[in-house]
Amino acid sequence: MIDESHAPLELAIETQQTAWKINQRPKDLDNDQLLQVPLTKPPIKSITLRFPHGKEVVARNLKGLTIGDALSAIHKANKNRADDELDNPYLKGFAWDQGENYFEVHLQSQPATGSSSGGGGGKKKKKSKDNDE
């Protein structure tokens, strides 16, 4: 659900730089301050997160969603899955689907590393095997 103003949502760029594995606790991130960053501008109270395989989870926070709230919702849905069950276990980022009012969750096989300048989507650690994107 979006706030009543229907203002266009701007997604926090920090969501593209987490290098986070979806079956691990968000609190295990190297940069735990990232968890407090608002997920969107303007703030929203809840959003549906849709995975590529069709599964959906809802993230909620009455004070305004943070990146940590979104990661917690994703983790809750994946915490019991083993690493070998996940084809693409790392969060690449989110994309807003305005027509359907949800965020698409983008995953990748290797963690992306965040850049300190805040620009771009980060680099891949190693290029090995195939690169599913």
Distances from the Cα of 122 to the Cα of 12, 28, 112, 118, angstroms: 15, 19, 6, 9
Give residue 24's pLDDT band: very low, low, confident or very high (50, 70, 90).
Answer: very high
Q: Is the pLDDT of residue 54 over 90?
A: no
Rounded to two decimals, the pTM is: 0.76
Q: Are 17 and 37 in contact (CB under 8 A)?
A: no
Q: Are 109 and 131 in contact (CB under 8 A)?
A: yes
Give residue 107's pLDDT band: very low, low, confident or very high (50, 70, 90).
Answer: very high
